[in-house]
Amino acid sequence: GAVVSQHPSWVICKSGTSVKIECRSLDFQATTMFWYRQFPKQSLMLMATSNEGSKATHEQGVEKDKFLINHASLTLSTLTVTSAHPEDSSFYICSATTTGGGGYEQYFGPGTRLTVT
Amino acid sequence: DAKTTQPNSMESNEEEPVHLPCNHSTISGTDYIHWYRQLPSQGPEYVIHGLTSNVNNRMASLAIAEDRKSSTLILHRATLRDAAVYYCILNRVSGTYKYIFGTGTRLKVLA
C-alpha cells in the first residue's frame, strides 16, 4: 500500500525558534498533501491543503505566515512552524492523496510530536 | 462541508461483531463516506469507503442506508488490536477533497 513518512517523529525546540517538519510519499506521487494538528484527547484539525507547485490554502484561523507550507515536488511537502511558542506544542500529521475525487483515500503519515519549551 | 455524528465511545467483547454507527443527514449526492481509525500516537489508518452500495474488504464492511443519511462500520470479529478511535468522514467528489474530522468513536475491546 501507499506509504507516507514524516521526519522527524518528534522534536523539542525552544520558544521563538522555527521548526521544519517533512512529509514524503514514498511510493507514489501525491497530487495533494494535507497538514493536520491534533491536541491531546482531541480530533484532528485540518490546517492546510497544498498542491505541488501551488500556494497552500490555509484553513480559517490558521496563520499562513506562522505555519509555512512548501510543496516543492510530488513527493515532498514541508511544514515550518515559525517563532514557535508552547501553545504550538501538538501532534502534527500529514496526509497525501494520489488523485482528486472523493472516492480516493488519503494516506496518513505517522505524525510528528512537537514540544516547545 | 457536511458533518458527521458518532457516539463518543463504545465497548465490545473480543471476537464479537461490532457495529459502529455514523449519522450524516446533510450528505450530498456527491459525498463519499470514508472510515478511518487511529491508534494512540499514530496517524489515522484507512479502513473502508463507499458511495451508495455496501462495501466489504479484509478489514471491515460498510453498510450504507438507502437514503445515505447514515452508515455503519461493521467489524466482524473484534480483536484487542481493533481498539482505536474510529472516524467517519464525508469526502466530496469534486472540490478540495479535504477531510473534516468529527469527534469519532473510541472503541474499547474487552478481553
Q: What pLDDT digit, counting tens, does each position of A2-38 carry?
A: 899 999 999 999 999 999 999 999 988 888 899 999 9
B104 CA: distance to closest CA in chain A (Å)? 7
Out of A94-98, B46-50, B75-79, least confident range: A94-98
pLDDT, residue A72, reads 83
Which pLDDT score, from 0 to 100, does residue B100 have? 83
Whether B42 has a pLDDT exceeding 70, the answer reads yes
Nearest CA in chain A to B50: A103
pLDDT of residue B99: 85
User: B-contacting residues of A 53-82, CB under 8 Å?
Assistant: 57
The predicted pLDDT at position B29 comes to: 86
pLDDT band at B5 (very low <50, low <70, confident <90, very high): very high
Amino acid at A32: T
Does the pLDDT value for residue A90 go beyond 60?
Answer: yes
Are the C-beta atoms of B33 and B49 separated by less than 8 Å? yes
CB atoms B98 and A34 under 8 Å: yes
| pLDDT at site B30 | 84
Q: Dihedral sign, CA of A60, A64, A67, A69?
A: positive
Q: Which residues of chain B lie closer than 8 angstroms to A111, CB-CB?
A: 41-43
- From B24's Cα to the closest Cα of chain A, the distance in A is 16
For testing contact with chain A, the best of B90, B97, B103, B106 (most A CBs within 10 A): B97
**Once rounded to an integer, what is the mean pLDDT over residues B10-16?**
97
Q: Which residues of B touch A97 (CB under 8 A)?
A: 97
Residue B63 predicted with pLDDT over 60: yes
In A31-110, beta strands by DSSP E: 32-38, 45-51, 57-58, 67-73, 76-81, 90-97, 107-108
Optimal mutation site among B1, B47, B53, B99, interface A, most CBs of chain A within 10 A: B99
Q: What is the pLDDT, as a whole number, of residue A99?
A: 67
The strand pair at A67-73 and A76-81 is best described as antiparallel
Check if B55 contacts A (Cβ < 8 Å).
no
CA distance A98 to B2: 23
Please say if the pLDDT value at position B64 is more than 60. yes
CA distances from A70 to A39, A51, A87, A94, B24 (A): 23, 9, 23, 13, 34
Nearest-CA distance from A58 to chain B in Å?
A: 12
DSSP secondary structure letter of residue A28:
S
How high is the pLDDT of residue A81? Answer: 98
Extract the C-alpha cell encoding B73: 462500520
Share of chain A above pLDDT 70, in %: 95
Bigger pLDDT: A52 or B4? Answer: B4
Instruction: Write down the number of H helices and E strands in chain A.
Output: 0, 11
Cβ contacts of A104 on chain B, cutoff 8 Å: 97
Kindly state the percentage of chain A with pLDDT values over 90.
76
With a CB cutoff of 8 Å and minimum separation 6, the contacts of B71 are B21, B22, B24, B33, B50, B62, B63, B64, B65, B88
